[in-house]
Structure 1
Amino acid sequence: MHQLPWDQIDTVLLDMDGTLLDLHFDWKFWSEYLPEAYARHHRLPLDNAKRFVRQAVKQQTGTLNWYCLDYWSRRLNLSVADLKHDLKHLIREHPDVLEFLAQLKQLNKQVIMVTNAHRDSLALKLERTAIEPYFDHIISAHDFRTPKEDIRIWDFIQQVSPYDPSRTLLVDDNIRALNTARRYGIRHLLAAIHVSPYMDKVDPRGYPHFEHYAEIMPIKKITP
């Protein structure tokens, strides 16, 4: 459990996939459902399709293309955004996320989502969950054509919603995003390591970390 100095934090930057939402939807889509669709569409053996998609995704790791549904639709000759709707029933928040967001608003924190997710994917997930009303701003890295793995994004966000890095918290399961935020000067960094009950925990690489939102609630429940 990591104790956060909430009195020293004015702005909270939150990632979406894996951090607020269970990553099982994305894992299932990219590792199983999309290769299956690719195999059917191109009449390929499933093993060949899985190998091709896995290698193609690996080549784009750390780039905005990795997250870009338009890019993958062109690359695979499939409507990737439409295919995502087939698994939308798997989209869900982590436990206690809504209470955590409600507490941030109760404490008048500026709450900003910063996600690498494509706008089409983002829209689907906001439609399927109840998180949207808690945010002052929802920012997709695609708005700036710059992923969170690029230090420039933290400056670009200032243009949309100014914040003081020394009084800002970033919560993310993407260690490379935490690295660029640290280099930019964001003071409070927290790794979300429990991305899904179906997946291995993230290695926090030395960052303060947590598994469940009950551990980092700003307002602790008083038990009688």
Structure 2
Amino acid sequence: MKADCPHSALWQATDTVLLDMDGTLLDLAFDNRFWLERVPARYAELQGLAFDQALAQLKARMAAVSGQLQWYCLDYWSQTLGFDLEAMKRAHQQEIRYLPGVRDYLGHLKQSGRHVAIATNAHPDVLRIKLAQTGLGELVDATHSAHDLGAAKEQAAFWQALERRVGFHPERTLFVDDSLPVLASARDHGIAHLRAIARPASDQPPRPIDDFPAVEALPDLGPVPLRD
């Protein structure tokens, strides 16, 4: 993983903390099962396909809109695939979980006096389900969905709209995400402090990351001092 500056220096230089949700705060294992197992299984059933055929078709459709808002849009996929994905999410919402140590760490982070907000590509319906299931909204100051801002986090327009809405100063902002393309987009916008999550899913080992300073999990950023 890319070398990183001491966490104490990072916190001294940070007023605003922007956090991805899935794979940073919440265990990506839930979404991996949903998109790589449950959705293709249902599509295979409806289309009379073998599971592997359905998965290959789904992956090809997703690749065609990668990095765009449609990739993250439940309405788009429900219309495209022919079944209700929101209902499927709700049916399995009890499996939505925090990554280890994150809930307590968020409590310390919010108490530090910094502005803490979620910046997610998740569809608003998914965001509502996950906030209701986890109580995550009580641990942050605000939540921002890319769908409300009109562009995915991979796109420059997202960061321009988010800065207008939040009023953060890029040079005093920390952004944490498990997606390297998203981190690259944030870097292009000028956000000074970036951290990658190396282990977004609890059932998978950490990934090697060279392009950005990385931690295995959010609590590895260490103790959060009170804002000066």
**Is TM (by shorter chain) over 0.5?**
yes
Structure 1: unaligned runs, 5 residues or longer: none
Does the CA contact (< 8 Å) of 2:123 and 2:145 recur in 1?
yes
Instruction: Report the aligned-residue RMSD.
Output: 1.7
TM-score of the aligned structures, taking structure 2 as reference length? 0.90
Give the equivalent residue in structure 1 for 2:178.
Answer: 173
Structure 2: unaligned runs, 5 residues or longer: none
AA matched with 2:185: T
Q: C-alpha separation between the residues in 2 aligned to 1:219 and 1:80?
A: 38
User: Is 1:215–2:214 an aligned residue pair?
Assistant: no
Give the equivalent residue in structure 2 for 1:95.
Answer: 100
Give the equivalent residue in structure 2 for 1:44.
Answer: 49
Deviation readout 1:185-217 (Å, 9 max, x if unpaired)? 111000011111223434433211101333213
Deviates most, 44-53 or 54-63: 44-53
Structure 1 residue aligned with 2:15, among 6, 10, 15? 10
Structure 1 runs (4+) greater than 6 angstroms displaced: none
Mark the CA change 1:214 to 1:113 in structure 2 (over 3 Å): closer, same or farther: closer
Does the CA contact (< 8 Å) of 2:17 and 2:116 recur in 1?
yes
Give the equivalent residue in structure 2 for 1:55.
Answer: 60
Deviation readout 1:85-136 (Å, 9 max, x if unpaired)? 2222221001111222111221110011000010111111111113211222
Deviates most, 38-47 or 97-106: 38-47
Give the equivalent residue in structure 2 for 1:190.
Answer: 195
Aligned residues: 220
AA matched with 1:76: L
AA matched with 1:206: D
Deviation at 1:42, TM superposition (A): 2.7
Deviation readout 1:4-33 (Å, 9 max, x if unpaired)? 221210000000000111100100010110
Deviation readout 1:132-178 (Å, 9 max, x if unpaired)? 11222100001122011112211101222111111000000011111
Q: C-alpha separation between the residues in 1 aligned to 2:191 and 2:69?
A: 22
SS in 1 for 2:62: helix
AA matched with 2:214: H
Structure 2 residue aligned with 1:27, among 26, 32, 35? 32
Q: C-alpha separation between the residues in 2 aligned to 1:94 and 1:160?
A: 28
Give the equivalent residue in structure 2 for 1:71.
Answer: 76
Mark the CA change 1:168 to 1:76 in structure 2 (over 3 Å): closer, same or farther: same
Does the CA contact (< 8 Å) of 1:81 and 1:121 recur in 2?
yes
